Amino acid sequence: MLSKIKAFWRGVRHLSGDDAYERYLRHHAAHHQADIALSKAAFFKQWQDDKWDGIKRCC
């Protein structure tokens, strides 16, 4: 039961983008170790601006 609640909470965080920076850090560690990772604030700016480039909402 507890693990299900935890999984649900992880889903909520993922869906909302609450954990986007953690996911970025993981991706960064796996693929781009040579570069310096962005700070949380800088990453969030970039992530938010990317997200709103294009059609995202419908009727």
Residue nearer to another protein on the CB measure, 1 or 53: 53
Q: How far is the CB of 22 from another protein (least distance, A)?
A: 10
Question: How many Å apart are CA 40 and CA 16, to the nearest integer?
Answer: 16
**How many residues of this chain bind another protein (CB under 8 A)?**
35
- What would the x/- binding string for another protein be over residues 1 to 40, using CB under 8 A? ------x--xxxxxxxxx-xx-xx--xx--x--------x
Q: By the 8 A CB rule, do 20 and 47 touch? A: yes
Q: How far is CA 15 from CA 12, 34, 35, in A?
A: 5, 29, 27
Instruction: Indicate the SS3 state at residue 19.
Output: coil
For binding to another protein (CB under 8 A), which residues are involved?
7, 10-18, 20-21, 23-24, 27-28, 31, 40-41, 43-45, 47-59
